[in-house]
């Protein structure tokens, strides 16, 4: 599949996750086979105010291309201007492959402001926002939706049609409603319905934790690509596993040592951008996720969640490796 000037062999996307898909996670997922990255969501209003923290979230180097910058907001003019600024370098890094519009975030603070998944209450507003952004930039505009706001309003198809009519180049669909948050199972049928209702590429998202999940998602929805999000936390190897399955190749699962080395590499990458103190503090939840299936993981996670330096993280992870080199399942 293609998006803009970029051709993707399998259409393997790393989905945007606030507090997770930072510089370090994006870089290691890219090295493990993610073909297309998306930044953490950034506030359109904050971009207009040249907020330094927001611009840092939008930064990515050329090594992470193609990468889209995801923005959130609810005012067409504000979204358009923020998109223009980011497309012209406000993030301070490489040129984005696209500007992605968040229409799926379920967090109460975002939803309560009429942003994120709240936009799905008004397909006409979706049209206005996408249209305004499309006119403001020269790169593709993409959209990330949910199934709907709640069970009574599963209108992903209507919202997708509005986005396509306004000029969106691609739509990613998370098969849960806003009220589901991340509970229950992602509905593949709603993703299939969106795919069958539009002509632009549709990317399937939700409950992809194994290669088998990826194959089933692709087969059942007919989606053009797959967006892996929570499944990649602590397991960036998932991209390589899925690629092998799609190509019919044998796949050798990573060892315990591979997990520990990847965790430390991700942390060191984050440190290069954020500095040690912030990278270690913000990275605790991600680093502990690498211990899934490890013997003694509970006590080791306690050490990780109190670590304040790279050396302390390294010591805890080295201890994890010493406990069992083959404890990962």
CA distance 23 to 49: 22
- One domain, residues 196 and 283: no
Q: Is residue 57 included in any domain, yes or no?
A: yes
How many structural domains does the chain have? 2
93 and 197 belong to one structural domain: yes
pLDDT (0 to 100) of residue 264: 95
Question: Which run of H or of E encompasses 279?
Answer: helix 276-289
Catalytic entry in 29, 67, 105, 159: 105
Domain for residue 190, yes or no? Answer: yes
237 and 263 fall within a common domain = no
Instruction: Mark whether 270 and 235 lie in a shared domain.
Output: no
Nearest to 274 by CA among 40, 98, 49: 40
For residue 31, the model assigns a pLDDT of 96
Q: Is residue 130 domain-resident? A: yes
Q: What is the pLDDT of residue 1?
A: 87
Whether residues 287 and 176 fall in one domain:
no
For residue 36, give the DSSP letter.
B
* 64: in domain: yes
Domain with 317, as residue range(s), is 256-323
**Predicted local distance difference test score (pLDDT) of residue 61:** 94
pLDDT at 323: 65
198 and 311: one domain? no
Asked if 36 and 138 sit in the same domain, the reply is: yes
* Sites in the chain below the pLDDT cut of 70: 294-297, 323-329
Inter-residue contact 272 to 265 (CB < 8 Å): no
Number of C-beta neighbours around residue 111 at 10 A = 18
Q: Residue 24 has what pLDDT?
A: 95
Q: Across-strand partners of 205?
A: 174, 227
Is 329 part of a structural domain of the chain? no
Pair (64, 149) in one structural domain: yes
Q: 239 and 267: one domain?
A: no
- Same domain membership, residue 299 and residue 318: yes
Q: How far is CA 91 from CA 44, 47, 184, 225, in A?
A: 12, 9, 36, 27
**Is 55 an active-site residue?**
no
Question: CA dihedral defined by 34, 38, 39, 45, rounded to 10 degrees?
Answer: 180
Please tell me the predicted confidence (pLDDT) of residue 326.
Answer: 46
Task: Kindly report each contact of residues 4-9 with a partner whose C-beta sits within 8 Å and lies 24 or more positions away, as own/partner.
Answer: 4/66, 4/97, 4/98, 4/139, 4/140, 4/169, 5/97, 6/36, 6/66, 6/97, 8/35, 8/36, 8/225, 9/35
Does residue 301 sit in the same domain as residue 187? no
Task: Tell me, yes or no, whether 328 lies in a domain.
Answer: no
């Amino acid at each position: 599949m293609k998006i803009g000037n970029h051709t993707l062999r399998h259409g393997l996307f790393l989905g945007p996750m606030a507090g997770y898909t930072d510089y370090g996670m994006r870089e290691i997922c890219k090295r493990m086979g993610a073909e297309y990255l998306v930044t953490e969501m950034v506030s359109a209003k904050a971009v207009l105010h040249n907020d330094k923290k927001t611009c840092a979230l939008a930064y990515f180097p050329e090594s992470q291309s193609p990468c889209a910058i995801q923005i959130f907001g609810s005012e067409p003019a504000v979204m358009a201007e923020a998109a223009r600024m980011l497309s012209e370098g406000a993030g301070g890094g490489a040129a984005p492959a696209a500007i992605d519009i968040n229409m799926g975030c379920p967090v109460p603070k975002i939803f309560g402001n009429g942003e994120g998944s709240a936009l799905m209450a008004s397909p006409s507003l979706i049209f206005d926002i996408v249209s305004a952004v499309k006119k403001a930039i020269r790169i593709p505009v993409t959209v990330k939706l949910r199934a709907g706001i709640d069970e009574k309003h599963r209108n992903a198809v209507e919202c997708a049609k509005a986005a396509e009519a306004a000029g969106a180049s691609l739509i990613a669909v998370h098969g849960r409603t806003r009220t589901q948050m991340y509970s229950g199972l992602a509905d593949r049928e709603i993703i299939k319905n969106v795919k069958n209702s539009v002509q632009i590429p549709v990317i399937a998202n939700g409950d992809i934790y194994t290669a088998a999940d990826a194959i089933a998602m692709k087969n059942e929805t007919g989606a053009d690509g797959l967006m892996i999000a929570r499944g990649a936390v602590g397991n960036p190897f998932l991209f390589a596993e899925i690629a092998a399955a799609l190509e019919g190749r044998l796949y050798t699962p990573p060892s315990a040592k591979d997990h520990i080395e990847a965790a430390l590499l991700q942390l060191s990458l984050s440190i290069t951008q954020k500095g040690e103190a912030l990278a270690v503090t913000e990275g605790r939840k991600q680093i502990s996720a690498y211990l899934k299936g490890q013997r003694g993981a509970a006590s080791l996670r306690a050490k990780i969640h109190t670590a304040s330096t790279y050396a302390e993280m390294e010591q805890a992870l080295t201890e994890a490796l010493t406990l069992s080199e083959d404890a990962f399942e």
